Amino acid sequence: MAPWRRPHKVALLIMNAGFVCYLVHLLQDQRQGRHDSLEVNPRSLNGNLILERLDRLDWNIYNLSKSLEKVHKKVKQIEHDQKLQNISKTEVRQADNMKEEKKMVHRLLYPDSALFRRWGADLSEEEQTVAQELFLKYGYNVYISDHLPLDRPITDTRSPSCKKKTYPKDLPTISVVLIFMNEALSIILRAITSIINRTPAHLLKEIILVDDYSSNDDLKGPLETQIKNYNAKHPGLLKIVRHERRQGLTQARISGWEASTADVVAILDAHIEVNMAWAEPILSRIKEDRTVIISPVFDNIRFDDFELLQYSVAADGFDWALWCLYEPLPDEWYALKDETAPVRSPSIMGILAADRKFLGEIGVLDGGMHIYGGENVELGLRAWQCGGKIEVLPCSRIAHLERAHKPYLPDLSIALKRNALRVAEVWMDEYKYMVYFAWNLPIENSGIDYGDVSSRKELRKKLNCKGFDWYIKNVYPNLRFLPNIVGYGTMKNTLKEDICIDQGPVPGNTPIMYPCHAYSPQHLFYHSTGEMYIGGLHARLNAVDRCVTDPGRGDLPILEQCDIAVSKGLNLHWDFKQGSAVINRNTKRCLEITADNTGTYRLVMQTCTGQRWNIQHTVKDWGKTKDVEHRIQQ
């Protein structure tokens, strides 16, 4: 019976008990009255018959009394049970409250950690502490990785057309190279398992692990044991190459290529999971054209909850700092009306597949690169300029685990600058200055030792490679070149040299003076034609540059999109030489600074008072002259 009905049952039993008591009392009164009558006049009725009926009445009263006792006992039992139930409900409620309180405490244990923004609310404090420590060590959620099956299913992110596509049976064989350095063991094992499970066995010749001098204990004996276990099921499939010193990502990839023996080599990170039929599109395309270097489409494994996020198909490009970026699909690809068709790509991301021998013919990778960064752009330029090509295959998909942070080297800027300059000096000809501008480095005496590039220049000459100008015009026309830059970097007034011109709050269009920090909001580019861009170097043709302008009224300069500033009546051309005034050509007003009564400096337009400016870097012999000073005096 439902609990909400029990009070009604108790009430009914009490009513019945009351009725029985009343009936017993009434019968007893009648019986007593009849005995009194018999004693007064025993001969007036048939005494024996009456006594017999009274005996029956006594028996009935006895039975009713027993029933009443049972009713009372049942009522008491129900009341007792009800009390116990109420106590139990209270205890359960209190226990639930305690659990909720504990959960609240758990959620607040690491409130600022990126790991727990959408995962881990139900973990105990001890579990959260373990998870957080692993997260700080690896940059992704090792706790959840260790609890997931190695052969976990992932969403097949291929398009319906890709799923229907068939491939020849006589495809080339493939060697898969996995690069790692202090990777979590479960991550590596899951990558291996996905490759074995989702690559046809007759095509998969070997999996080569390259360890760039890891220090984690579980990547020594325990990993060797796992390799033996895999090879027991798949004889000779797994190999491992171990560096005896840290050599960096590029050299690790070269080591993997050197150890490979299949027709095609795929060089991957170890923190990946390949998707269904990932290899067949690659092998089929390389069979058609051995000079194609292939990039699969990346999907994203989220670093916190390991959910798979599908990414759209895109081409790979880069900016002038040689950071990778995604480019829109070219119109030529859309015109094919075939979503399985290869996508022509200016560059390549970190994962690649190529004909093993062809990759060797064009120089594999530049072993002079440090750590990582720039090596993929270098390969893309070399492939295109030296007779190959880069393509993205929509039907080949690999899920890549993106770290929240890179724990192995917090500051990569030195290696990134070094690698970028190395690429620029070998492959980019006169366009190399754009890389110096983007990194805000002086062209002469940059302070960055990019190493000996003579062998790479000799390789370029040997392969009879095309120039970078050909590359921009024929492969990457969306990459914008800015000519005539004669000054760049931060810009300071000699009155107060610890503050720099800054683009100011965004959104907003008022440049300000702000303590110098040398990041892109303070990067200024002065052209020989007089325009003064601020806010970083943009690499795409459709990018919006903002110029410093004088509106001709008021005392504040305005930042405005350079190509529409004139149509808005703004004056964007300036005369400036290093160590001199900044004078607007049309208004003849100067860009200067003033301090208010609190000592805060403002950037203003006003009648020239002789203030002088210096820009951080200059090009060629551009520098101090007397002509601007003479113009101020006039």
**The pLDDT of residue 586:** 98
Q: If residue 456 lies in a helix (H) or strand (E), which one and from where to where?
A: helix 454-462
Q: Are 245 and 213 in contact (CB under 8 A)?
A: yes
Where b means 16+ CB within 10 Å and e means fewer, 285-311 reads bbbeebebbbbbbbbebbbbebebeee
124: tokens are: 């105990």
- DSSP one-letter string for 76-91: HHHHHHHHHHHHHHHH
Beta-strand relationship, 546-549 and 389-401: unpaired
* Residue 352 β-bridge partners: 267
Do both 244 and 389 map to the same domain? yes
Per the structure, how many domains does the chain have?
4
Residues 6+ apart with CB under 8 A from 504: 510, 511, 512, 514, 559
Residues 6+ apart with CB under 8 A from 541: 477, 478, 479, 480
What is the rounded average pLDDT of the residues 245-272? 98
Q: Are 490 and 524 in contact (CB under 8 A)?
A: yes
Does residue 479 belong to any structural domain of this protein?
Answer: no
Do both 281 and 301 map to the same domain? yes
**The pLDDT of residue 211:** 99
**The pLDDT of residue 86:** 64
Nearest to 629 by CA among 586, 579, 592: 579
With bands split at pLDDT 50, 70 and 90, how would you rate the model's confidence at 632? very low
Do both 237 and 349 map to the same domain? yes
Measure CA 122 to chain center.
23
Greatest C-alpha distance within the chain: 158
- DSSP one-letter string for 320-386: TT--EEEEPPPHHHHHHT-TTS-EE-SS--S-EEEEHHHHHHTTSS-TT--SSSSHHHHHHHHHHHT
Q: Which of 47-51, 373-377, 391-395, 497-501 has the lowest mean pLDDT?
A: 47-51
Do both 123 and 265 map to the same domain? no
With bands split at pLDDT 50, 70 and 90, how would you rate the model's confidence at 66? low
With bands split at pLDDT 50, 70 and 90, how would you rate the model's confidence at 541? confident
Do both 206 and 312 map to the same domain? yes
What is the rounded average pLDDT of the residues 70-97? 63
With bands split at pLDDT 50, 70 and 90, how would you rate the model's confidence at 63? low
* Angle in degrees, CA 139, 145, 146, rounded to 5: 120
CATH number at 327 reads: 3.90.550.10
- From residue 223, how far is each of 2, 190, 253, 408 by CA, in Å? 59, 12, 20, 20
Residues 6+ apart with CB under 8 A from 604: 555, 556, 557, 591, 592, 593, 594
Q: One-letter amino acid identity for 517?
A: H
Do both 43 and 118 map to the same domain? no
Q: Does pLDDT of 183 surpass 70?
A: yes
Do both 268 and 192 map to the same domain? yes
Does residue 480 belong to any structural domain of this protein?
Answer: no
Do both 215 and 99 map to the same domain? no
Residue with tokens 């009255």: 33
Q: Are 405 and 139 in contact (CB under 8 A)?
A: yes
> In whole angstroms, what is the distance from residue 540 CA to residue 478 CA?
6
pLDDT digits (tens, 9 = 90+) for 496-518: 999 999 999 988 999 999 999 98
* Angle in degrees, CA 10, 16, 21, rounded to 5: 125
Q: Does pLDDT of 244 surpass 60?
A: yes
> In whole angstroms, what is the distance from residue 121 CA to residue 142 CA?
16
What is the rounded average pLDDT of the residues 424-445? 96
> In whole angstroms, what is the distance from residue 96 CA to residue 98 CA?
5
Domain region containing 132: 114-147
Residue with tokens 């097949």: 156
Do both 167 and 41 map to the same domain? no
CATH number at 539 reads: 2.80.10.50
Q: What percent of the chain has pLDDT over 70?
A: 80
With bands split at pLDDT 50, 70 and 90, how would you rate the model's confidence at 35? very low
pLDDT digits (tens, 9 = 90+) for 571-605: 999 999 999 999 999 999 999 999 999 999 999 99
Does residue 442 belong to any structural domain of this protein?
Answer: no
Q: Which of 2-16, 150-164, 223-237, 311-325 has the lowest mean pLDDT?
A: 2-16
pLDDT digits (tens, 9 = 90+) for 128-173: 999 999 999 999 999 999 999 999 999 999 999 999 999 999 999 9
| pTM for this entry | 0.81
**The pLDDT of residue 24:** 46
**The pLDDT of residue 518:** 81
Does residue 228 belong to any structural domain of this protein?
Answer: yes
Does residue 139 belong to any structural domain of this protein?
Answer: yes
Give backbone dihedrals phi and psi of 327, rounded to 5 degrees, phi first.
-115, 150
Q: If residue 155 lies in a helix (H) or strand (E), which one and from where to where?
A: none
> In whole angstroms, what is the distance from residue 512 CA to residue 500 CA?
8
For residue 429, what is the DSSP state?
A: G
Does residue 259 belong to any structural domain of this protein?
Answer: yes
Q: Are 254 and 356 in contact (CB under 8 A)?
A: no
**The pLDDT of residue 107:** 56
Do both 255 and 321 map to the same domain? yes
Q: Does pLDDT of 10 surpass 90?
A: no
Does residue 136 belong to any structural domain of this protein?
Answer: yes
Where does a domain end: 375, 401, 427?
A: 401
Where does a domain end: 401, 419, 435?
A: 401
Q: Does pLDDT of 76 surpass 90?
A: no
pLDDT digits (tens, 9 = 90+) for 449-481: 999 999 999 999 999 999 999 999 999 999 999
Nearest to 287 by CA among 195, 394, 174: 174
Tell me which of 171 and 538 has the higher pLDDT: 171
Does residue 447 belong to any structural domain of this protein?
Answer: no
Where does a domain end: 401, 436, 456?
A: 401
What's the residue count for the chain? 634
> In whole angstroms, what is the distance from residue 84 CA to residue 90 CA?
10
109: tokens are: 């244990």
- From residue 255, how far is each of 157, 266, 365, 554 by CA, in Å? 31, 13, 10, 64
Alpha helices in 153-302 (DSSP H): 160-164, 185-198, 221-233, 249-259, 279-288
**The pLDDT of residue 52:** 53
Tell me which of 271 and 413 has the higher pLDDT: 271
Do both 363 and 492 map to the same domain? no
Do both 507 and 598 map to the same domain? yes
